[in-house]
Chain A
Amino acid sequence: MSVAVLDRVEVDYAGRGRALGPFSLSLAAGGITALVGPSGCGKSTALRLLAGLEGPTRGTVERAAGRGETSVVFQAATLAPWLTAEANVALPLELSGMPRAEARARAVTALGRVGLKGAERARPAQLSGGMAMRASLARALVTEPRLLLLDEPFAALDEITRRTLADDVLDLWSQTRPAIVFVTHNVEEAVYMADRVVVISRGPGTITGEVRIDAHLPRPAGFRVTATFREASEAVSNLLAKGSEVAA
């Protein structure tokens, strides 16, 4: 069963020409898909199509369109500075008309799940970069989405924080198993987090190929030194190289 389908979509931007496509992608429920490609290959555009924030110029998009069924985490935490962490996380629920008390209670639970227990009353300015990202993740998960979209979510963080967060995202995923799509240009991050890595060619983006990673999710300790990890990383790197050749 698929959560969302992009069927031969193309996206043209005025003045810039074709940004993406033709591009087809079907997302299985509970799967974790990484979209990898060079800057400007249209991977963020693909994500916005899945989020319904943008429409395709041609082709069709099928997606879970219900309120809260799709969540997005952007590259920056994108929290409202005037609201506490708790109020930020409760926002999607309150906007959909849930009574305030219940929304706040769920927000507190969600913050606990991402390891931010005790930071409910903190403002975004008082949180570190990693904590703010966690709050953003809690806000995305609070609606219990079927599809979670992450747009280079850890790009602004340091390597250690990135790795911890990657493990945490996988742990969170294993609790409710939403389908996850995330965009990155980091090959290792893609292979570590996804069971399916889709490589996109230099813009306008088309799919160069994809690599499946058959290993347990969440990853066991030491996964980064296994042969599976190394081979998959190499396969993705080769596809990336091929994708840039085609366009050049």
Chain B
Amino acid sequence: MRRLLEALAPFTLITLLLVVWEVGCRVTGVPAYFLPPPSAVAVALVTDPQSLIEAAWNTLSVALIALAIASISALSIAMFVGLSPLLEKAVAPLASTLQVTPVVAIAPLVLIWAGIDHPERAVIALAVLVAFFPIFSGAVTGLKSADPDLERLFDLYGANRFQRVIRLRLPASVPFLLEGHKVGAGLAIIGAVVAEFGAGSGGIRGLAWRILDASNKLQTARMIAALVVLGIMGVALHALLDRMERVGMTWWRGR
């Protein structure tokens, strides 16, 4: 009973807020371009669902491609850097500079480099930049997280560098990698949306473009509808990765 209540609680709150919003709109008569009622948003959601789904998929696929690229590059750079403390010292300030630079600020530059005909490349590159850091720092920490006594045993057994990475450091870093990918995936979506805004209208028809487009036409209900889809997508992706992290940890720990 308690669990059922807990599961229903968020939906009850959402419904309550929607009712307040709907009634508020109707009672005050606030114009729809300023704040449309939820019913208008719902209509916007169901009219032309095809283009909305297409836009959502455009954004999601960019985020997923970016996540994959970020994952591979972060892991390989982390493994390379892990070979020597000197390399790590050399890379660390660059990596944190990358992390603290807002993606909006780099967007125009990357758009120029990608070329006017390929804004999608720029958007992917920008999302990669955002998703890279959590995975990279997780991998760097994880690769150093092996039990020092196990490292000593590997010394004693005469393990070579390759064996040490493949059989000790990489498996030891799994929990850190799972966490890094979870955070990275969320950031990849944010990165994709921000980069779409940076790319402006036309080239990339994702959710951000849809928001911009609706905003230009003062179709506030369509803007909110796109936001709702974005929110659902983010929550679903997070839930999926959370689940993957838990399954991964159970496998790793053996219980």
Contacts and interface: CB of A to CB of B under 8 A. Distances in A.
Contacts of B172: 80, 82
A218 to B, nearest CB: 27
Contacts of B156: 51-53, 70-72
Contacts of A92: 153, 157
B163 A80 contact: no
Residue from A53, A68, A71 having most chain B Cβ neighbours under 10 A: A53
Given A78-B150, A95-B163, A123 B253 contact: yes
Given A52-B156, A53-B156, A70-B156, A80 B254 contact: no
Given A80-B150, A82-B174, A96 B253 contact: no
A125 B159 contact: no
B158 A67 contact: yes
Nearest to A52: B156
B167 interface: yes
Contacts of A78: 147, 149-150, 153
Contacts of B254: 81-82, 84, 122-126
Interface in B132-156: 147, 149-150, 152-156
B contact face: mostly helix, strand, loop, or mixed: helix
Contacts, number: 58
A165 interface: no
Q: Interface residue tally of chain B, by bracket?
A: 20 to 34
A contact face: mostly helix, strand, loop, or mixed: loop
A124 B81 CA distance: 30
Interface in A61-95: 67-68, 70-72, 74, 76, 78, 80-84, 91-92, 95
B157 A68 contact: yes
Nearest to A76: B149
Nearest to A51: B156
Interface string B37-81: 000000000000000000000000000000000000000000000
B133 to A, nearest CB: 26
Contact of A74 (B149, B158, B168, B255): B149
B145 to A, nearest CB: 12
Contact of B157 (A83, A91, A124): A91
B171 A82 contact: yes
A82 B254 CA distance: 7
Contacts of B163: 95
B255 A53 contact: no
Going nearest first, the 6 A-B pairs with the smallest beta carbon separation are A123-B254, A78-B149, A95-B157, A92-B157, A74-B149, A82-B171
Given A71-B156, A78-B153, 7 more contacts: A53-B155, A53-B156, A67-B157, A68-B157, A92-B153, A123-B255, A125-B254
29 contacts: A51-B152, A51-B156, A67-B158, A70-B156, A71-B156, A72-B152, A74-B149, A78-B147, A78-B149, A78-B150, A78-B153, A80-B150, A80-B172, A81-B253, A82-B172, A82-B174, A82-B252, A82-B253, A82-B254, A84-B254, A95-B154, A95-B158, A95-B159, A96-B158, A123-B254, A123-B255, A124-B254, A125-B254, A126-B255
